[in-house]
């Protein structure tokens, strides 16, 4: 295909996206022409476009590289691609207006529109996400989901050095701020020219709804405060979560905890994560019901899960918010030294919070409250309720919202490391990491490995380790002593 045909087709898609009209065609073609370093264009009649937006992007970028407009494998290339895809993306006012039009018909239509746009304009990095290694493993808690995260590009040493030398701007203040919408990007901040945010009013406060560029699950989205302020779990959090599932009833929404060790990776900007995915924890059943006397219409119970989860269900969202607030307040101040649970340090530092997740179940509002404790000890310096030393060869990072719900996000190092473990158990030449050797030897004692079964067995064992990771993060262990202690907390409510 000629570059003139590529430009014509690319502009056709831009017009179809709704941000431009046919009258804008010549203007757009000349803009793209200039960006990629071409000087003239053959007149070509528009026709039905058979290539995807990403295929056309690749052709435009290849021509720009050939013309010396951009270099391969640089931050500038990411910025350049986002600027091209901005032509395919209507301005924020139009995206919001179209979202509202679709929403009037059905909230599902609205998110379908926005999700498709965010994929087609390469804001959601579909090709990078496709590289992730995904599998699921049956455990006593049902199927747990595992992803070895290969989508986020590794930074090369030159880029890290350039970031160090780059002046420390505080605009945008972080990657979640509204000011990212349309931002060009720089060596230490991602390109966001093709980024759009749907505005949401949550009880008089301005919030934004966007998708995650490197999604871990279906329609992985982020709902963020317009104000750059730290994350806090409070009664207001529970109100917002129930409001969000009223606005987007086909999505779940949850919040990372607001303390280090048990919180997410960004605690500096108030935000939630949402999406259209049924996580393993949602499928887990209540194994023990209890009553909250002030809320006769509410189901309340302990979920069969390796972490300590209280599930509330009610047709009344206000009751749900009040009950969740009661549990949060009790938990924040609750200690039980017999099972190493301590609400405050001697200096008054708080250690207790909750990871909440909300969803709709027909007419019911449902909220899971996962009890969290970020205390450390001499034996467990990384966290008493954090992955313990013996499982850190697989997962040592924070157990945030996504892991809590049963989806392990494992580091990219494991792709090659698990291959070396497989070579080791098959007695092939290998470069197994020292920290995997004891685990591999234990597996060799328990299994007869062959070329046909090695990979499956190793995946299964990784799943069992993830179940143990979650058990380590659970404040009440699934032992007689642990469950008796959990009951003492429930009784205190």
Separation CA 232–CA 54 (nearest Å): 39
- 460-470 tens-digit pLDDT: 999 999 999 99
- 322-334 tens-digit pLDDT: 999 999 999 999 9
Nearest Cα neighbor of 8 from 57, 41, 52 is: 41
Separation CA 440–CA 425 (nearest Å): 7
DSSP-assigned letter for residue 153: P
- 1-16 tens-digit pLDDT: 799 999 999 999 999 9
The reported pTM is 0.94
Nearest Cα neighbor of 207 from 232, 235, 228 is: 228
Give the list of residues 6+ apart from residue 16 with CB closer than 8 angstroms, or none.
none
Separation CA 425–CA 447 (nearest Å): 10
- Torsion, Cα 50 55 57 63, to 10 degrees, reads -100
pLDDT at 166 over 90: no
- 49-73 tens-digit pLDDT: 999 999 999 999 999 999 999 998 7
pLDDT at 159 over 60: no
Separation CA 69–CA 66 (nearest Å): 8
Average pLDDT of the residues of the chain: 95
């Amino acid at each position: 295909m000629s570059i003139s045909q590529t430009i014509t087709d690319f502009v056709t898609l831009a017009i179809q996206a709704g941000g431009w009209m046919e009258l804008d065609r010549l203007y757009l073609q000349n803009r793209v022409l200039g960006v990629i370093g071409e000087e003239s264009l053959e007149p070509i009649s528009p026709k039905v476009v058979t290539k995807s937006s990403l295929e056309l992007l690749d052709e435009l970028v290849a021509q720009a590289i050939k013309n010396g407009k951009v270099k391969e494998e640089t931050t500038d290339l990411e910025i350049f691609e986002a600027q091209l895809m901005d032509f395919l993306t209507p301005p924020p006012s139009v995206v919001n207006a179209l979202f509202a039009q679709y929403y009037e018909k059905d909230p599902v239509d609205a998110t379908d529109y926005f999700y498709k746009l965010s994929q087609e304009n390469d804001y959601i990095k579909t090709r990078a996400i496709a590289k992730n290694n995904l599998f699921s493993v049956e455990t006593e808690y049902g199927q747990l989901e595992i992803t070895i995260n290969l989508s986020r590009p590794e930074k090369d040493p030159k880029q890290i050095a350039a970031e160090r030398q780059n002046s420390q701007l505080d605009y945008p203040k972080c990657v979640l701020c509204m000011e990212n919408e349309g931002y060009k990007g720089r060596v230490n901040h991602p390109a966001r020219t093709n980024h759009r945010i749907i505005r949401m009013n949550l009880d008089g406060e301005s919030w934004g709804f966007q998708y995650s560029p490197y999604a871990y699950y279906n329609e992985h989205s982020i709902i963020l405060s317009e104000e750059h302020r730290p994350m806090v779990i409070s009664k207001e959090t529970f109100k917002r979560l129930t409001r969000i599932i009223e606005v987007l009833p086909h999505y779940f929404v949850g919040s990372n905890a607001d303390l280090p060790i048990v919180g997410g990776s960004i605690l500096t900007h108030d935000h939630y994560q949402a999406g259209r995915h049924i996580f393993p924890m949602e499928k887990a059943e209540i194994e023990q019901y209890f009553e909250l006397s002030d809320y006769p219409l509410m189901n309340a119970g302990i979920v069969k899960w390796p972490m300590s989860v209280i599930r509330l269900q009610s047709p009344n969202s206000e009751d749900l918010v009040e009950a969740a607030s009661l549990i949060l307040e009790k938990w924040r101040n609750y200690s039980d030294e017999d099972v190493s649970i301590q609400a405050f340090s001697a200096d008054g530092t708080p250690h207790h919070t909750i990871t909440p997740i909300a969803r709709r179940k027909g007419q019911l509002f449902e909220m899971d409250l996962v009890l969290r404790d970020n205390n450390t000890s001499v034996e467990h310096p990384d966290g008493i309720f954090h992955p313990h030393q013996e499982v850190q060869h697989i997962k040592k990072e924070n157990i945030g919202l996504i892991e809590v719900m049963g989806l392990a996000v494992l580091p990219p190092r494991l792709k090659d490391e698990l291959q070396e473990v497989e070579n080791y158990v098959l007695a092939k030449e290998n470069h197994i990491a020292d920290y995997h050797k004891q685990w591999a030897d234990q597996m060799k004692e328990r299994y007869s490995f062959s070329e046909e079964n090695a990979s499956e067995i190793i995946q299964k064992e990784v799943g069992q380790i993830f179940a143990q990771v979650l058990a380590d993060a659970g404040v009440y262990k699934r032992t007689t002593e642990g469950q008796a202690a959990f009951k003492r907390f429930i009784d205190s409510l």
